[in-house]
């Protein structure tokens, strides 16, 4: 796991400054490469072939191709054998060289063969073409700026800004999406001139004619389904998942598992324990802000069951404002999924002592584990509830839990089918204008922006599926890469920690995504197929127990320990209307829970102050 950056420019690019800005992603080694208009930089976190033979930027044996690469390709040994059989000679034992030689042998078609997580830049010196490539699920980040024939890219936005060639002008599209979804979606960032490369895409920059082409190398949907028996499907899921976990245990450093005691992490632990060479380490965390939800007892039972080398981390939030300020610096733009706080603290606890962790991201999107999937599956029932909720909406206490349910009901009832999937995730009521919180000049710009454009685009791709399948595919292309995987990457790589996600193995994910939605939820049972696949392996009390997650009581903090910090930080940002102060007062006094929007505005204010003051 590493960090990359680079540029194609007629100007002198400060590549060393760009590399220094992302040093936390790879503290073991860093280097640069310059040739005419091309600059490349790399920072290395040594996981495979710890020798200097794995350092980057790396030239192919022929000298025709050079690469900087961030990620892990889990099937590189099979690809290496195939290349050796065709006469390729290798100088190292790392996956980077396999990518180099494979690309030189097969060109762009080689990327479809890669099973792993990656973001890379490959320069073909003979054809004078630079390729930026991102893995099909967006596990690893890659940003770029393309202005006046100048291309600048990096693993993190700060790497691009460090070039001193790109403006910090804010994107109104990014701001409006953030108000609804806690993050930006698709290609959008908070910076007008900086974009994200979409998952599964290649950006080709031809230096000879200065043309740019962006196209997918692999789509994540519309996969064929072959009729099978229910038992056969269950067995296939278990077999494919076991192969995935076994593949992802590949490393020349110790590997551990973040064990929450839930279905996903327990399933990973059970299979990793079978195939890991040595005693598997598991890590669980208890926080002083868990408000009664504590994963430690369940995780301890699981660790005893599978005899892992178990470690409990008792983490204090301490000065939460200070932690929040630090996290904001690593994300480079506002991001208000508060679960990044415990992830960051867990990574900080392991920093310097551990490098690779397996984690369960992707399981809910593949196997339908969230409540909104059940609501979509029972659309007619929720339409009836929505009618009742609408009639009595103003007579019920204004709690965040109540509003979450009411928003879901309203979303299911949208007459505009394009907006159902969008509204299920929007944290604002349908009849409330999110832009009301800003002063008139900013509000007038935002009112011209459609924050749901990404969902409209995906609806056109997926509208021939049933509504549940459409939502699952949409989430695989929005909330998973843009929120959950981004959260994991930044919060852990801030502490030089690589996180791997076995649920997003190519073979497993492609198979499960091809299955009709009836196999994923049956009756009230979410994750039905995954539970069947792990019956007898994962204990029943975990398979059928309540879903758990990081409990981060930010609503409570904003009323108590963070009250003054919230008022001072938000009021110091001169972009809000008078309504925001009223919302803060009402929240602190308990008249209504404005926790979600105030947490967004707090994170926005921290970023705005650092960026523009």
Length of the chain: 613
CA distance linking residue 54 with residue 46, whole number of Å = 8
CA distance linking residue 347 with residue 354, whole number of Å = 9
β-bridge mates for residue 256, sequence order: 281, 357
CA distance linking residue 186 with residue 402, whole number of Å = 30
**CA 403 to mean position of chain CA atoms:** 26
Looking at residue 94, what DSSP letter applies? S
Q: Which residues contact 237 (CB under 8 A, 6 or more apart)?
A: 508, 511, 512, 529, 530, 533
β-bridge mates for residue 134, sequence order: 119
Tokens, residue 551? 């409990």
The helix-helix angle for 296-306 and 263-275 (nearest 10°) equals 20
CA distance linking residue 613 with residue 603, whole number of Å = 15
Q: Are 65 and 123 in contact (CB under 8 A)?
A: yes
Rounded to the nearest 5°, which phi and psi values hold at 211?
-105, 145
Tokens, residue 502? 């076995």
Q: What parts of the chain have a pLDDT lower than 50?
A: 391-397
Q: Where in the chain are the domains?
A: 2-216, 230-367+487-543, 553-613
Torsion-angle region of 87 (φ positive above 0: left; ψ -120 to 50: alpha; else: beta): left
Q: Which residues contact 306 (CB under 8 A, 6 or more apart)?
A: 269, 270, 273, 280
Q: Is 98 exposed, middle or buried, given 0-12, 13-18 or 19+ CB atoms closer than 10 A?
A: buried
**CA 4 to mean position of chain CA atoms:** 18
Helix (H/G/I), strand (E/B), else coil: 264: helix
CA distance linking residue 368 with residue 13, whole number of Å = 46
CA distance linking residue 346 with residue 327, whole number of Å = 13
Give me the pLDDT at residue 32, please: 97
How many angstroms separate the first and last alpha carbons of the chain?
33
Helix (H/G/I), strand (E/B), else coil: 254: coil
CA distance linking residue 496 with residue 524, whole number of Å = 40
Spell out the SS3 assignment of 213-248.
Answer: EEEECCCCCCCCCCCCCHHHHHHHHHHHHHHHHHHC
Torsion-angle region of 604 (φ positive above 0: left; ψ -120 to 50: alpha; else: beta): alpha
CA distance linking residue 9 with residue 14, whole number of Å = 11
Residue 365 CB coordination number (10 Å): 27
Q: Are strands 309-315 and 281-287 parallel, antiparallel or unpaired?
A: parallel
Helix (H/G/I), strand (E/B), else coil: 399: coil
Q: Are 427 and 407 in contact (CB under 8 A)?
A: yes
**CA 527 to mean position of chain CA atoms:** 21
The alpha carbon dihedral of 485, 488, 490, 492 has a sign of: negative
What is the pTM for the complete model shown? 0.94
Q: What is the CATH number of domain 2-216?
A: 3.60.20.10
pLDDT in tens, 234-271: 999 999 999 999 999 999 999 999 998 899 999 999 99
Spell out the SS3 assignment of 329-352.
Answer: HHHCCCCCCCCHHHHHHHHHHHCC
Q: Are 470 and 422 in contact (CB under 8 A)?
A: no
**CA 257 to mean position of chain CA atoms:** 18
CA angle centred on 304, ends 302 and 310, rounded to 5°: 85
Give me the pLDDT at residue 569, please: 97
Q: In degrees to the nearest 10, what's the CA dihedral of 508, 511, 515, 521? A: 0
Tokens, residue 434? 């999110």
Q: In degrees to the nearest 10, what's the CA dihedral of 599, 602, 607, 612? A: 150
Torsion-angle region of 255 (φ positive above 0: left; ψ -120 to 50: alpha; else: beta): beta
- Identify the CA nearest to 44 among candidates 203, 278, 325, 252: 252
Tokens, residue 340? 């990044």
CA dist 296 to 151, 356, 538, Å?
47, 21, 17
Please report the DSSP string for 172-212 in residue order. HHHHHHHHHHSS--TT--SBTT-EEPPTTEEEEEETTTTEE
For residue 331, how many C-alpha atoms fall within 13 Å in the half-sphere facing its CB?
33
Q: Are 154 and 25 in contact (CB under 8 A)?
A: no
Pick the CATH number of 230-367+487-543 from 3.30.470.10, 3.30.390.30, 2.40.100.10, 3.40.50.620: 3.40.50.620
Helix (H/G/I), strand (E/B), else coil: 33: strand
């Amino acid at each position: 796991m590493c960090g990359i950056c680079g540029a194609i420019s007629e100007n002198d690019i400060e590549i060393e400054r760009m590399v220094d800005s992302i040093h936390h992603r790879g503290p073991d080694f860093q280097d640069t490469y310059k040739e005419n208009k091309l600059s490349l930089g790399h920072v290395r976190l040594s996981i495979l072939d710890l020798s200097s033979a794995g350092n980057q930027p790396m030239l192919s044996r022929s000298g025709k191709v050079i690469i900087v690469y961030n990620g892990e390709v889990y099937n590189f040994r099979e690809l290496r054998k195939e290349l050796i059989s065709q006469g390729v000679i290798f100088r190292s034992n790392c996956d980077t060289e396999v990518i180099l030689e494979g690309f030189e042998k097969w060109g762009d078609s080689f990327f479809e063969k890669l099973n792993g997580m990656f973001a890379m830049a490959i320069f073909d010196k003979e054809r004078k073409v630079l390729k930026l490539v991102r893995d099909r699920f967006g596990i690893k980040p890659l940003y770029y700026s393309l202005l006046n024939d100048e291309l600048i890219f990096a693993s993190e936005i700060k790497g691009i800004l460090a070039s001193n060639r790109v403006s910090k002008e804010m994107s109104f599209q990014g701001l409006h999406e953030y108000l609804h979804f806690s993050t930006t979606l698709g290609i959008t960032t908070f910076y007008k001139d900086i974009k994200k490369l979409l998952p599964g895409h290649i950006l080709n920059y031809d230096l000879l004619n200065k043309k740019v082409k962006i196209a997918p190398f692999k789509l994540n949907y519309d996969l064929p389904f072959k009729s099978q028996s229910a038992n056969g499907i269950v067995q296939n899921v278990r077999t494919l998942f076991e192969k995935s976990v076994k593949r992802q245990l590949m490393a020349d450093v110790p590997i551990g598992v973040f064990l929450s005691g839930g279905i996903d992490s327990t399933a990973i632990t059970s299979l990793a324990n079978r195939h890991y060479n040595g005693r598997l380490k598991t890590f669980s965390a208890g926080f002083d802000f868990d408000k009664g939800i504590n994963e430690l007892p369940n995780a301890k039972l699981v660790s005893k069951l599978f005899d892992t080398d178990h470690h409990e981390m008792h983490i204090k939030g301490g000065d939460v404002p200070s932690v929040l300020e630090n996290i904001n610096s690593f994300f480079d733009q506002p991001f208000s999924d508060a679960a990044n706080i415990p992830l960051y603290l867990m990574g900080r606890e392991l920093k310097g002592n551990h490098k690779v962790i397996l984690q369960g991201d992707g399981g809910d999107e593949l196997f339908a584990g969230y409540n909104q999937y059940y609501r979509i599956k029972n659309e007619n029932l929720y339409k009836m509830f929505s009618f009742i909720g609408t009639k009595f909406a103003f007579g019920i206490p204004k709690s965040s839990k109540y509003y979450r349910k009411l928003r879901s009901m309203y979303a299911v009832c949208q007459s505009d089918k394009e907006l159902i999937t969008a509204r299920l995730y929007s944290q604002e009521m349908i009849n409330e204008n999110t832009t009301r919180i800003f002063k008139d000049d900013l509000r007038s710009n935002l009112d011209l922006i459609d924050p749901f454009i990404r969902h409209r685009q995906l609806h056109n791709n997926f509208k021939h599926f049933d509504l549940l399948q459409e939502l699952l595919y949409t989430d695989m292309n929005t909330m998973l890469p843009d929120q959950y995987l981004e959260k994991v990457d930044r919060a852990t790589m801030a502490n030089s920690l690589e996180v791997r996600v076995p649920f997003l193995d190519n073979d497993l994910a492609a198979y499960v995504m091809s299955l009709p939605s009836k196999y994923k939820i049956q009756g009230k049972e979410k994750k039905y197929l995954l539970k069947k696949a792990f019956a007898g392996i994962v204990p029943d009390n975990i398979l059928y127990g309540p879903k758990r997650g990081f409990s981060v009581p930010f609503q409570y903090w904003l009323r108590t320990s963070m009250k003054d910090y919230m008022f001072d930080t938000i009021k110091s940002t001169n972009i809000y209307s008078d309504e925001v102060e009223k919302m803060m007062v009402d929240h602190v006094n308990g008249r209504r829970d404005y926790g979600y929007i105030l947490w967004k505005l707090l994170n926005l204010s921290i970023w705005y102050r650092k960026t523009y003051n």
